[in-house]
Amino acid sequence: MDFTPSPRTLDYRKRLIAFMREHIEPAEANYQKENRRLNPDGNWREWQVPPMVSELKAKAKAAGLWNLFLPDDKLGAGLTTLEYAPLAEVMGHSLLAPEVFNCNAPDTGNMEVLYHFGTKAQQDQWLKPLLKGEIRSVFCMTEPDVASSDATNMQASIVADGDEVVIRGRKWWSTGLGHPDARFAIVMGLTDAGAAKHQRHSMVLVPLDAEGVIIERMLPAFGEYDAPYGHGEVIFDNVRVPKANLIGGLGDGFKIAQGRLGPGRIHHCMRALGAAEKALQLFMQRGQDRVAFGRPLLQLGGNMERVADMRIAIDQARLLTFFAAWKIDQVGAMKALTEISAIKVAAPNVLQKVVDETIQLYGGAGMSHDVPLTALYAMARALRIADGPDAVHRATIAKVELAKYRDHPNVRDPR
């Protein structure tokens, strides 16, 4: 249980912070404005990436702050999950930052999948340009017509037919589907309903220009389309791709998904905690700068108590996330189920609470786009649903606890 940041982490963190202060923070307000100007909500088919993004990405790449998430020390920074965690937190302070450092979902998860499970050909075709930040990708899992919290509900099908596989079904909340640079999706679907529970599903690479890929719309998340990424609803209407597009083999979908989710949840949660720190910073700022009834807001009512409660909550959730990251590195995600599920419940709820309090302190401004609070709120709210809703993670934790109790009803072995 050693969470000491490694020298590499310390070095990257210092450089990340410097980069964010020098390049990202000053650009952020302009970015938001420019982005909303370029990409009004209605017309997602014409969305563009504000030019400053490419410039910032080039700078980040030049500074060596690129692909830090990838555990490979040639293709990425070779950091462990725990080493990367504090860096994800730093990036979480800005909604723009993850892309600038080529560390944003779902590309990170997709790159990890290709890195760990992709063939050489798949890596050459898809992983390389992703690692360069030239293209973007999509992950298609959630479906509109069933409770996707229960993966066995999945209805989209991935079926072999000769040298091809055929994909049929409807997916939504496919993040990044509206992006002009999005080139392919990793699609998960049902291959064999009669197989063992965790061998029923497959994952396949589907180019977005394949025949039968019909993007219907972008979905607003709490009113935000998150241009130029977007959260799309897409139909796969008898889409055919070569069998070589399968990741692993038929029936390997679950196994791959599990591997994808552990570190991905660490990234999400650490970014959420970075976002919570950002919101708390905004709370302090407003609380100090704005005066009512003759005193700064911070000195009114229970606001100082709120500061304390937010600090306690953030610090606890961070340590728990470090612990989950450490366990993933030490014993693997499958033996860190409780911890991964625990942070997946804890971190987004902390963020939601902190943002809600901060919005309240900002009053009307807090609900507008003048401060990034509603975007942070949408991030929290979405994260309580995506990658398994709170309820599913609570159920996992409780099941593990019950199994532990059954095995050792008198156990008193603290960790």
Residues 326-345 interacting with its own copies (rule: CB under 8 A) = 338-339, 341-342, 345
Q: How far is the CB of 238 from its own copies (least distance, A)?
A: 25
Please state the separation of Cα 137 from the chain's center in Å.
13
Residues 215 and 177: beta-carbon distance below 8 Å: yes
d(CA 172, CA 35): 23
Kindly tell me which residue out of 366, 371, 376, 379 binds its own copies, with binding defined by CB under 8 A.
Answer: 366
Distances in Å between the alpha carbon of 35 and those of 114, 154, 386? 30, 35, 25
Kindly tell me which residue out of 30, 193, 315, 331 binds its own copies, with binding defined by CB under 8 A.
Answer: 315
182: phi then psi, degrees, rounded to nearest 5: -65, 130
Instruction: Tell which positions 43-72 bind its own copies, by CB under 8 A.
Output: none
CB closer to its own copies, 131 vs 268: 268
368 binds its own copies (CB under 8 A): yes
Q: How far is the CB of 30 from its own copies (least distance, A)?
A: 17
DSSP string, 275-333: HHHHHHHHHHHHHHH-EETTEEGGGSTTHHHHHHHHHHHHHHHHHHHHHHHHHHHHH-G
Kindly tell me which residue out of 7, 162, 194, 302 binds its own copies, with binding defined by CB under 8 A.
Answer: 302
Mask for 144-183, x = binds its own copies (CB under 8 A): x-xxxxx--x------------------xx----------
Cβ burial, residue 130 (10 Å; 0-12/13-18/19+): buried
Instruction: Tell which positions 343-362 bind its own copies, by CB under 8 A.
Output: 345-346, 359-360
CB closer to its own copies, 133 vs 189: 189
Residues 227 and 35: beta-carbon distance below 8 Å: yes
CB closer to its own copies, 133 vs 178: 178
Kindly tell me which residue out of 8, 32, 41, 240 binds its own copies, with binding defined by CB under 8 A.
Answer: 41
d(CA 68, CA 65): 7
CB closer to its own copies, 121 vs 147: 147
Instruction: Tell which positions 383-402 bind its own copies, by CB under 8 A.
Output: 384-386, 389-391, 393-399, 401-402
Which secondary structure element, helix H or strand E, spans residue 383, and what is its range?
helix 373-383
d(CA 158, CA 246): 10
d(CA 90, CA 98): 9
Select the span of 129-137, 236-244, 251-259, 306-314 touching its own copies (CB under 8 A): 306-314
Instruction: Tell which positions 83-102 bind its own copies, by CB under 8 A.
Output: 86, 89-90, 93
132 binds its own copies (CB under 8 A): no
Tokens linked to 83 = 């080493």
Instruction: Tell which positions 194-223 bind its own copies, by CB under 8 A.
Output: 219-223
Q: How far is the CB of 336 from its own copies (least distance, A)?
A: 12
Q: What is the SS3 assignment for 184? A: strand
Query: Which residue in this structure is represented by tokens 């995506």?
Result: 386
CB closer to its own copies, 109 vs 274: 274
Kindly tell me which residue out of 8, 15, 25, 119 binds its own copies, with binding defined by CB under 8 A.
Answer: 25
CB closer to its own copies, 104 vs 148: 148
Q: How far is the CB of 291 from its own copies (least distance, A)?
A: 6
d(CA 117, CA 1): 29
Residues 258 and 205: beta-carbon distance below 8 Å: no
CB closer to its own copies, 192 vs 224: 224
Select the span of 61-69, 111-119, 132-140, 404-412 touching its own copies (CB under 8 A): 404-412
Tokens linked to 61 = 């790449």
Kindly tell me which residue out of 271, 318, 327, 353 binds its own copies, with binding defined by CB under 8 A.
Answer: 318
Residues 186 and 113: beta-carbon distance below 8 Å: yes
CB closer to its own copies, 70 vs 317: 317
Instruction: Tell which positions 219-258 bind its own copies, by CB under 8 A.
Output: 219-224, 231
Q: How far is the CB of 10 from its own copies (least distance, A)?
A: 11
Q: What is the SS3 assignment for 159? A: strand
Angle between helices 390-407 and 337-362 (to 10 degrees): 140
Instruction: Tell which positions 266-295 bind its own copies, by CB under 8 A.
Output: 273-274, 277-278, 280-281, 284-285, 288, 290-293
CB closer to its own copies, 210 vs 365: 365
DSSP string, 230-254: -EEEEEEEEEEEEGGGEESSTT-HH
Q: How far is the CB of 389 from its own copies (least distance, A)?
A: 6
